[in-house]
Every structure is written in C-alpha cells, then in structure tokens.
C-alpha cells in the first residue's frame, strides 16, 4: 500500500465529509419546502408540473397511499422502458440499426433500471439504440434515484413527526428531489465531464484502422485477421453524471467507468466516486436536522465511515499484495509500476483508486465499476460482496441506503436498548412489537432472496451453464450476481454469462423483490413511528448521539448483517483465498 494511494483515499473521504453538511442542509430545505436559491427558477416549473399532472401538493399521504403512489409510478415507468426497448427498431435515433431487445432481456433491463439496480445482462453499445438509452434508461436514472430519495425522506418524517398519520406527498417529494437535487447537480457535473473528454453526440459509431493487425480465433476454430475497430459513440456525459449521482451504475458502454469515454481521467474518477457518496452522506445530515438531533446524524455517518474504512483498507491491502503464484516477478510498487494485482485494472487509476472505487460503488448501491471485480484477489473481491451483503447501508444508494441503515438502527436500538433498563426507545419513540416485526421482515427478505436463489442456481444445470470458473470462484460469481441484483447494486463479478432465460428471469425477480418487497415493511415502520408519541429525552434515554452508539450500530450491522452469510462466504472467497495461498487457482 503506497503513501500516495492513502493520500488520495484521505482526500476523497475529506471531500465527502466536507460536502455532507451543505448537501444535507440543502436537501432538508428542499423537502421541508423552505426557501432555496434555486426557487425563482424552479418554483414555476414545479407549479406547472403539478397543474399538468393534477397533483395537489398540500395533500398529505398515509404510508399506504405513499407506497401505492410509488408502486403505480414505478409500474408505469417500468412498462414504458419495456416498450421502448421492444420497439426500438421502429423508433428513431437508431443509427446502428439495432434490433428490438428480446423479451426476457427487456424485462430484466426494465426491472433493473426501475429498481435502481442497473444490472446489465447486455452489451449496451450493441443492444440499445440512442433513443432507448436517452428515453428509457436515462429518465430511470433520475426517477429511481428520486423515488429512493423520497422514501428516505418519508421515513425520516416518520421518525420526526409525532402523533401524525401521514408522511408527506409522494409526488411532491419525487418532483422536488428531481428538480432541486438531481437535475441541477447532474447538469453541472455533465459539463465538467465533457470538459475532461467524455463524449456527448448522436453520431454513428466510428470505424478506425488498427495500428497493428490482430489475429483472432473464433468459436468455430477459424482464425481471422482483424484490421479495424468500431468505436462506439453516443450521448454519454448526460447519462454518466446521473449514473453516478443517482447511484445507478448502469454504464453507457459495457466497460462502464473503465471505458475512457465514460471515465477518462483521474479527476473524473475522483468526481465520480465523490458523486456516489454525495447524496447518501448528505442524507445523514438531513436526518439529524429533520429529527432535531444533528449529533445523531453524525453518529450514523460515523458508523458508515468506519465500515467504509474497513472495506477500503481490506480491498487496498488485498490488491496491493503480490501474487504468490508469480514467483521471480517483481510485483512491488515502484516509480514505473503500480505493484500488486493490476489484472483487470486501468493503468490510469492504479491499485488505490480501483480498490477505493470498488468499495465505494458497493458501499452505495451504485454498481458502476472502473475495474473488473472478478479479477480482484479473493479477499479484494470479498469486500464488494460483503458490502452489498450488509444491505448497502454504508452510505448506500440514494435514499435506500438511508432507510436501510435506519432499519438497522431500529434493530440495534431494540437489542441494546433494553440494557439501559427501559423498553427500547429511538429518539423518544417506543420500538414495539409491530416495528420489530416489520424490521425483521425487512431483514429477512434480503438473505431469503439471495440465499434461496443462489442455492437453486448452484444445483441447477441452467444456473451452472453460464459459469466460466468453477470451484469457490464460481460460487462467488453466482453469489455475487444474486447479491448484486437483490441489493439493487448492479455491479457484476463478470465470468458469469447472465444473458440466459434463467438468469434474466431469476435476477429480474431478485431485483424486483429486493427493492419493492423491502420498501413495504420499511414504510410500514415509518407510518407506525409517525403515529407515536415522543418521550422527551432525559438522562435515562438511550443515547443515539455518542461514539458508543456508533460502535454499537457497527457491531450489530456486522454481527446480524454479515454473520448470516459467513457460511457461504467461507466456501467462496475465503476458501479461494486460502487455496490461492496453497497454490491452487480457479
């Protein structure tokens, strides 16, 4: 691990922490409908939208109405995405004349983008037309993020409100999140990306002559000589900005943020990572401010930073290790080489920024990648997998990270709250049977989907068919696919060919259940909390603002969240790591 690498990591987290407060305060003002400096520009747009759509912004919704509105909106946008993909061959802006997307893949993709997963079973540049990208996929990047944001705000309101039956208006939260938060930042960010070399055009793909002709052996055993290369183009920058900011992660190109047109420079790489954490980190401050306990927000943020650091450290350390199989090769850091495991990593990012990117993208439910997680060392690959298995609550996805973390907070408060000699209480609200029931349902669905589907897949010929590697690495690949889908992350341990009927369908189900089935119990808690009284704080109140609380929360996340997966992880990455050291590769 180089000092230079650590300095870049330190710079990154410092920037995240510095931006948390202004971002969080801004979001609090947006959702509490207090004034912001963008109001003169955006208020007329907002009013116009409400008038056109027939929305009464003052109308408050109970949790059930909020969830139903959200589901209706998601279903409508899912259908739109499906239709655009199926009809892209007859629609304009298809310079490459790409065919209609097959039904199972279109379903998988529609679910994927609606659920903020952005898992891609396809190669975008050879599958999706410009229109599909711009009309079906980009809006989802905004919508799914805005939905997550709205839900998190509704949950925070549930904690903050007392003896109320409503959580706000879904349509208002959705609109304000999009207009005030996602759109302005994305617009500025896209321009910055263009300045760094990210492309933004509607041109047909370029064909260039190769400097050196390549001999390629095809599947049929014939060898052909390739002299040209097709270079895909497209409106990339506009999609790239919201891809990161909205923790979506679906790349315009198959290579995602490793592609030089998506992520050309170390600066864009830094900004992309920063934009992943920008909103999730800010939301902890929003939480603190809206519930009237800023220090609680910081305590939650601190738990996130601790877990983030543990992941970053492990990943950076593991990737910096020399490969024990490559004897007599100098693998150490020097002025001329990055050192460590550079397989599947971009030279312009190196070890530190690849390890950090992998940690950040899986801490949050982003799923964009700038290096191939499949090529990480076993322990390096364990980090992204574990991050998602924890429920993506380390910063987490836009909104979803916040509410996922808050469910953990409720469980932590319930388990340890009794130890202060009171029935458990979170910020003055009693945590009772119903809350625990819903929290456990939330915590149960996640491992249920991952473990059950992965267990079926490893016993099913269709599940094993697409597997490029066997042994523990193959297990990791299958586990990673279901984990990424259920956690709505979207990153992949490549090596698994997921564009099959079985995977398109089962991963689609995993994404759908992992998003919506978990939202329902979460919102039920929010609705129930909103109706409760608030007991004023005293010396006898369970402390949720102290470093001790941060330690407790971290401990519960690790023990309750990760131990469920310890057995299967020990057969996957852990076993692979031990076998690698013993000289066996997969």
Partner 1 sequence: MSTQKRSLFDPAIVRRASVDALRKLHPRLMMKNPVMFVVEIGSVLTAVLLVLNTATHTGHFRFDLQITLWLWFTVLFANFAEAMAEGRGKAQADALRLAKSETTAYRVGKDDEVEELPSSHLRVGDVVRVTAGQMVPGDGEVINGVASVDESAITGESAPVIREAGGDRSAVTGGTRVLSDVILVRITSNPGETFLDRMIALVEGAERQKTPNEIALNILLAGLTIIFLLAVVTLQPFAQYSGAPQTAFVLISLLVCLIPTTIGGLLSAIGIAGMDRLVQHNVLATSGRAVEAAGDVNTLLLDKTGTITIGNRQATEFLPAPGVTALQLADAAQLSSLPDETPEGRSIVVLAKEQYNLRGRELAQLNAEFVPFSATTRMSGIEVDGRSIRKGAVDAIARYLEEHGSSMHNDVRSAVETVARSGGTPLVVAENGRALGVIHLKDVVKGGMKERFEQLRAMGIRTVMITGDNPLTAAAIAREAGVDDFLAEAKPKDKMDLIKREQAEGKLVAMTGDGTNDAPALAQADVGVAMNSGTQAAKEAGNMVDLDSNPTKLIEIVAIGKQLLMTRGALTTFSIANDVAKYFAIIPAMFAGVFPVLNALNIMHLHNSESAVLSAIIFNALIIIGLIPLALRGVSYRPLSAAALLQRNLLVYGVGGMIVPFIGIKLIDMLITAIHLA
Closest separation in Å from C-beta 536 to partner 1: 6
Residue 75 CB neighbours (<10 A): 12
Residue 28 CB neighbours (<10 A): 20
Helix/strand/coil (H, E, C) string of 412-442?
HHHHHHHHHCCCCEECCEECCHHHHHHHHHH
Nearer to partner 1, 96 or 564 (CB): 564
Closest separation in Å from C-beta 328 to partner 1: 24
Nearer to partner 1, 34 or 533 (CB): 533
Nearer to partner 1, 264 or 447 (CB): 447
Nearer to partner 1, 241 or 568 (CB): 568
Buried b (16+ CB within 10 A) or exposed e, 126-160: ebbbbbbbbbbbbbbbbbbbbbbbbbbbbbbbbbb
Buried b (16+ CB within 10 A) or exposed e, 223-247: eeeeeeeeebbbbbbbbbbbbbbbb
Closest separation in Å from C-beta 284 to partner 1: 21
Question: Which among 368, 397, 356 has a CA at the least distance from the CA of 119?
Answer: 368
Nearer to partner 1, 371 or 413 (CB): 413
Report whether 112 contacts 489 (CB < 8 A): no
Closest separation in Å from C-beta 548 to partner 1: 6
Closest separation in Å from C-beta 549 to partner 1: 8
Report whether 399 contacts 281 (CB < 8 A): no
Closest separation in Å from C-beta 476 to partner 1: 11
Closest separation in Å from C-beta 115 to partner 1: 22
Closest separation in Å from C-beta 429 to partner 1: 9
Report whether 157 contacts 283 (CB < 8 A): no
Nearer to partner 1, 454 or 522 (CB): 454
Nearer to partner 1, 69 or 476 (CB): 476
Cα→Cα distances 557→267, 293, 408, 416, 449, Å: 33, 22, 7, 13, 19
If phi over 0 gives left and psi between -120 and 50 gives alpha, with beta otherwise, what is residue 292?
A: left
Closest separation in Å from C-beta 579 to partner 1: 6
Nearer to partner 1, 437 or 499 (CB): 437
Nearer to partner 1, 123 or 458 (CB): 458
Please report, as ranges, the residues that interact with partner 1 according to CB under 8 A: 162, 411, 414-424, 428, 431-433, 435-437, 439-441, 443-444, 447-448, 451-452, 454-456, 458-459, 471-472, 475, 533-536, 538-543, 546, 548, 551-552, 555, 559-560, 563-568, 570-571, 574-575, 578-579, 581-582
Q: Give how far the C-alpha of residue 242 lies from the chain's centroid of Cα atoms, to the nearest Å.
A: 12
Question: Which among 352, 359, 349 has a CA at the least distance from the CA of 276?
Answer: 359
From the DSSP assignment, how many helices (H) and strands (E) are in the chain? 24, 4
Nearer to partner 1, 92 or 583 (CB): 583
DSSP helix/strand/coil, 226: strand
Report whether 366 contacts 248 (CB < 8 A): yes
Closest separation in Å from C-beta 418 to partner 1: 3
Q: Which residues are bridge partners to 207 per DSSP?
A: 230
Distance CA 294, CA 289 (A): 5
């Amino acid at each position: 691990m180089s000092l230079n690498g650590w300095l870049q990591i330190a710079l990154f987290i410092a920037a995240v922490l510095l931006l948390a407060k202004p971002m969080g305060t801004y979001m609090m003002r947006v959702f509490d409908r207090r004034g912001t400096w963008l109001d003169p520009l955006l208020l007329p747009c907002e009013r116009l939208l409400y008038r056109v759509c027939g929305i009464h912004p003052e109308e408050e919704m109970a949790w059930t109405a909020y969830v139903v509105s959200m589901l209706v909106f998601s279903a409508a946008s899912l259908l739109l995405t499906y239709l655009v993909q199926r009809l892209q061959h007859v629609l304009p802006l298809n310079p490459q004349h790409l065919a209609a997307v097959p039904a199972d893949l279109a379903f998988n993709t529609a679910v994927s983008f609606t659920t903020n997963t952005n898992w891609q079973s396809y190669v975008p540049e050879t599958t999706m037309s410009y229109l599909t990208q711009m009309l079906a996929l980009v809006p989802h990047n905004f919508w799914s993020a805005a939905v997550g944001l709205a839900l998190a705000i509704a949950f925070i309101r549930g904690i903050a409100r007392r003896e109320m039956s409503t959580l706000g208006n879904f349509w208002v939260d959705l609109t304000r999140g999009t207009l005030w938060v996602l759109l302005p930042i994305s617009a500025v960010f896209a321009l910055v990306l263009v300045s760094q070399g990210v492309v933004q055009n509607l041109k047909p793909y370029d064909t260039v002559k190769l400097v050196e002709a390549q001999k390629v052996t095809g599947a049929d055993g014939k060898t052909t000589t390739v002299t040209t290369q097709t270079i895909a183009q497209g409106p990339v920058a506009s999609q790239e900005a919201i891809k990161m900011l909205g923790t979506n992660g679906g790349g315009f190109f198959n290579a995602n943020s490793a592609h030089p047109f998506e992520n050309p420079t170390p600066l864009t790489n830094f900004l992309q990572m920063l934009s992943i954490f920008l909103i999730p980190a800010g939301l902890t401050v929003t939480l603190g401010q809206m519930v009237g306990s800023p220090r609680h927000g910081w305590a939650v943020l601190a738990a996130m930073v601790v877990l983030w650091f543990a992941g970053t450290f492990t990943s950076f350390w593991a990737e910096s290790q020399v490969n024990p199989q490559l004897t007599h090769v100098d693998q150490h850091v020097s002025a001329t080489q990055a050192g460590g495991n550079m397989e599947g990593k971009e030279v312009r990012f190196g070890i530190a920024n690849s390890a950090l990117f992998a940690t950040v993208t899986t801490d949050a439910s982003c799923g964009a990648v700038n290096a191939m997680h499949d090529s990480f060392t076993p322990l390096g690959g364990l980090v992204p997998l574990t991050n998602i298995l924890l429920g993506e609550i380390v910063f987490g996805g836009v909104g979803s990270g916040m509410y996922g973390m808050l469910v953990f907070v409720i469980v932590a408060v319930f388990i340890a709250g009794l130890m202060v000699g009171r029935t458990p209480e979170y910020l003055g609200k009693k945590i009772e049977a119903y809350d625990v029931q819903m929290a456990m349902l939330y915590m149960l669905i996640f491992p249920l989907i991952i473990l059950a589907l992965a267990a079926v897949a490893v016993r099913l010929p269709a599940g094993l068919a697409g597997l490029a590697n066997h042994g523990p690495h193959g297990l990791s690949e299958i586990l990673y696919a279901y984990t990424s889908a259920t956690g709505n992350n979207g990153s992949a341990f490549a090596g698994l060919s997921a564009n099959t009927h079985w995977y398109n369908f089962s991963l689609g189900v995993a994404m759908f259940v992992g998003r919506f089935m978990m939202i329902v119990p979460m919102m039920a808690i929010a609705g129930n909390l909103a109706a409760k009284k608030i007991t004023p704080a005293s010396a006898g109140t369970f402390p949720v603002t102290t470093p001790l609380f941060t330690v407790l929360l971290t401990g519960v996340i690790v023990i309750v969240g990760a131990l469920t997966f310890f057995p299967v992880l020990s057969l996957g990455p852990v076993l692979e790591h031990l076998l690698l050291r013993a000289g066996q590769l997969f």
